[in-house]
Chains A and B, each alone.
Chain A
Amino acid sequence: MTTDVIKETSHDDHQNDHHGDHKMTGIKRWLYTTNHKDIGTLYLWFSFIMLLTGGALAMVIRAELFQPGLQIVEPDFFNQLTTVHGLIMVFGAIMPAFTGFANWMLPMMVGAPDMALPRMNNWSFWILPFAFGILLSSFFMESGAPNFGWTFYAPLSTTYSNGSTAFFVFAVHIMGISSIMGAINIVVTIMNMRAPGMTYMKMPLFVWTFFITAYLLIAVMPVLAGVVTMVLTDTYFGTSFFNAAGGGDPVMFQHIFWFFGHPEVYIMILPAFGIVSTIIPAFSRKKLFGYSSMVYATSSIALLSFIVWAHHMFTTGMPLFGELFFMYCTMLIAVPTGVKVFNWVATMWRGSLSFETPMLFSIAFVILFTIGGFSGLMLAMTPVDFQYHDTYFVVAHFHYVLVTGSLFSLYAGAYYWLPKWTGNMYNDALSKWHFWCSLISVNLLFFPMHFLGLAGMPRRIPDYALQFADFNKWVSIGGFAFGLSQLIFLAVVIKCIRGGEKAPAKPWDGAAGLEWTVASPAPYHTFSTPPPQSDIDNADQHSH
């Protein structure tokens, strides 16, 4: 099937009208595009730039913490660094990277020609650089950047704001608009654009996880918009939502924020489950073990995520019933998560394994994410959380799930699909260097933090007691090494785009999925006519 035939069939009147398939050249192509692959590429590059930006801030943080005492930055600037580092990594790096994967892969995986609402898709992306422009520009303003933590607890962000609250709030507002539109697009694409014959239970698990994630986004991003609005009016218009003198309660801020915040962490991990569930079967040369149980486990994790939020607030003085309720609900999440980890291991069991770089990252994901899960379980226990709360133990926990979890899955996915995206194989040796350097340095970076936290080192403090000095030195060395290792990835990607061994349509012999039925690199338009039923059945992840 040539590209010309595809064009003819999809655009019967294309002689007298200019459609999306007429690629513009230069900058206009990227500004005006309605093509899911172009938009996916934009998202991926943007998120990688944000990863390096947020990473650079983290390097300064680690440099300051290399030794006890204040060396490089002022305490207030340190607070700005931790705040903006968190905001950028959550909203600028991890979330847009997953949206990039969704854009590139979902239409191909469900056999659709594009996302359901292509122009809105473009709008969703282009809001992001502006939103982060506003956020980052606050570094250069009189007030300085936000310094109240990425969780912007009241009254730090209201009564005691350094004056950056308005910039923060409006940047979050337009980020939220972008996320909601992106999520609506994903939901509609999956509900409405699946090729005939692809039933819900025949969708790849990747598609399922993005489907559920998008629902979470539509449900909780508006709540974030609501809470930042209340922060704005409390700070600038004299309301007292989070001020007891007017009848409000600062703890109410935490309730509303974490009602958004907990589903938000699943927004950053469920797509990772989808990516890993695609890659592990491919390199085990088996079908995914327990496909349907994976679907149900993901859905129940998503549902439970709405009733566990106050496990972030055990030390705020909630009534005892609240403490117990949120503790038990949180521990319940370990059950569906356990199902997932079991299924990944069972998929590998007696498989014919090979250890290409995507598989290495996926196996590392399973092990290290599980460590992050276990420390989460420890934090879920109310009585012991009183010891860990706001210490480096928490920092260790969420970096294990977000860095060795989400970020590692993103690398796994990037290596897995790079041949499809660029048409070239990546440099294998260099990619293995990236993996091993990252793996070793990331553990040196985050593992000792568990012990620092257990020993009582508080988070978000630029200075610390002398007994923490040795561990912090090693953590910082791990941090610098991890930061540098990510430049290897940049080199791999650039080399891969420039050239390299030509990739066949399906470079991985165990891979399943409709994306491997089209050429590498994927043509600008794919599936203008639906794929044959046999291809859909072959891509089915059920084990029979």
Chain B
Amino acid sequence: MTNKEYESYYVPSQSHWPIVGAIALFMIALGAAHYVTDLSKEQNGYGGYLLLAGIALVIYMLAGWFSDVINESLAGKYSHQMDNSFHQGMSWFIFSEVMFFAAFFGALLYLRVFSVPWLGGAGNNAETGAVLWPDFVAHWPLLTTPDGTTTSAMGWYGLPLINTVILITSSVTAHFAHDALIKNNRKPLKVWLGLTIVLGIIFMSLQILEYSHGYSEEMRLFLTSGVYGNSFYLLTGFHGMHVTLGCIMLIVMWFRILKGHFTPNNHFAFKAASWYWHFVDVVWVMLFVFVYIL
């Protein structure tokens, strides 16, 4: 009854990793909720510890789950179809990430185009402006909020510009690494990938430097500095988290390459990591335009 045209489909064995993952997410959610609640009441609790334990458990779970998958893949159990499923799954995951950032970009757009001008009396809001905050002048970046908090704007030249160059370069080097892998040139692969990782780390370091400038006494650009500071830190912050995650993925790939993993036509994990890297790069370009320049 074997149908040879239909590749035999691999049903993965039962696994305890998903339930470990669910427990880990539970610990993170419950821990974070308690931590944040306690913080707002200025009291101490176990929330923070639960959160950290949850994060540790997630890392343990991912390591275990992926190593199972890697072993199964190395054992040649995965069919072409399974590989396709992984590819499609990853691309839809990245699409969902795009939509996550879209929510924040949408908020930024709304703040700039509607909310701040309306507070300044635009449209049919002259009365509102006059009654609520008569002294408020609408302007973007919003350096003086209606309730009088002041801050200063982060320029686009200097660190952000350098970071843009760095991240775009790293996207190119990631592409060269992928090319080298397809042509089975292992040495250039290691070099290009290594370079990508180094660029990623430099980017993150410069981001931290930029944040410390923002929080300095001269700039006084805080997370709480009205909607300009809010959107600046939330957008760049979530982007930074994604860069960190992408960087970790690339580092894992580098070690796997040292161990001799991946072949020119079977390297899904590498492809996924590099797709992810290109994705964080594109998000940065959007950020650079909409948060810094405009």
Contacts and interface: CB of A to CB of B under 8 A. Distances in A.
A369 B216 CA distance: 59
Given A32-B19, A166-B36, A187 B1 contact: no
A222 B85 contact: no
Contacts of A530: 3, 6
Contact of A246 (B6, B28, B96, B147): B147
A517 interface: no
A120 B226 CA distance: 40
Interface in A1-42: 1, 5-6, 9-13, 17-22, 24, 28-29, 31-35
Contact of A249 (B26, B97, B111, B231): B111
A78 interface: no
Contacts of B142: 247
Nearest to B82: A116
Interface in B35-93: 36-37, 39-41, 65, 77, 81, 84-86, 88-89, 92-93
A122 B18 contact: yes
A10 B26 contact: no
A396 to B, nearest CB: 31
Nearest to B3: A529
Given A218-B99, A222-B96, A252-B111, A123 B18 contact: yes
Interface stretch (B114-122, B174-182, B190-198, B261-269): B114-122
B8 interface: yes
Contacts, number: 262
Interface stretch (A58-66, A96-104, A125-133, A435-443): A125-133
A482 interface: no
Nearest to A170: B29
Contacts of A240: 145, 224, 226-227, 230
Nearest to B233: A239
Nearest to A128: B22
Given A223-B100, A249-B114, A134 B30 contact: yes
Given A12-B8, A174-B29, A184-B89, A245 B147 contact: yes
A35 B147 CA distance: 57
A381 interface: no
Contacts of A301: none
B67 to A, nearest CB: 13
Contacts of A112: 9
B29 A248 contact: no
B184 interface: no
A259 B104 CA distance: 13
B204 interface: no
Contact of A34 (B14, B115, B146): B14
A297 interface: no
A114 interface: yes
A131 B32 CA distance: 13
Residue in B23, B30, B65, B107 whose Cβ sees the most chain A Cβ within 10 Å: B107
B202 interface: no
A113 B26 contact: no
A371 interface: no
A210 B199 CA distance: 42
Interface stretch (A48-56, A190-198, A359-367, A382-390): A190-198
B97 A222 contact: yes
Given A222-B97, A249-B110, A34 B230 contact: no
B106 interface: yes
A269 to B, nearest CB: 21
A226 B102 CA distance: 9
Given A34-B11, A130-B25, A248 B111 contact: yes
B18 A248 contact: no
Nearest to B37: A166
Interface stretch (A230-238, A349-357, A458-466, A500-508): A230-238
B185 interface: no
B14 A33 contact: yes
Contacts of A241: 107, 111, 227, 230-231
Contact of B227 (A134, A169, A222, A246): A246
A288 interface: no
A13 B226 CA distance: 62
A113 B145 contact: no
A220 B34 CA distance: 27
B234 interface: yes
A31 to B, nearest CB: 5
B81 A192 contact: yes
A256 B102 CA distance: 10
A507 B192 CA distance: 62
A220 B4 CA distance: 41
Contact of A113 (B11, B30, B84, B93): B11
Q: Identify the 5 closest CB pairs spanning chains A and B, nearest first.
A: A226-B103, A238-B224, A123-B18, A130-B26, A126-B22
Given A184-B93, A223-B103, A246-B227, 12 more contacts: A9-B1, A19-B11, A31-B19, A35-B11, A118-B11, A123-B19, A123-B21, A134-B30, A196-B6, A218-B96, A246-B226, A247-B145
Interface of B: 1-3, 5-6, 8-9, 11-19, 21-23, 25-26, 28-30, 32-34, 36-37, 39-41, 65, 77, 81, 84-86, 88-89, 92-93, 95-100, 102-104, 106-107, 110-111, 114-116, 118-119, 123-124, 132, 142, 145-147, 149, 223-224, 226-231, 234
19 contacts: A34-B11, A118-B11, A119-B12, A123-B19, A127-B22, A134-B29, A166-B37, A167-B33, A167-B37, A192-B81, A196-B5, A196-B6, A219-B99, A222-B100, A238-B223, A239-B224, A240-B224, A246-B149, A529-B6
Interface of A: 1, 5-6, 9-13, 17-22, 24, 28-29, 31-35, 112-114, 116-120, 122-123, 126-127, 130-131, 133-134, 143, 163, 166-167, 169-171, 173-174, 177, 180, 183-185, 187-188, 191-193, 195-196, 218-223, 225-227, 229-230, 232-233, 235-241, 244-249, 252, 255-256, 259, 319, 525, 528-530
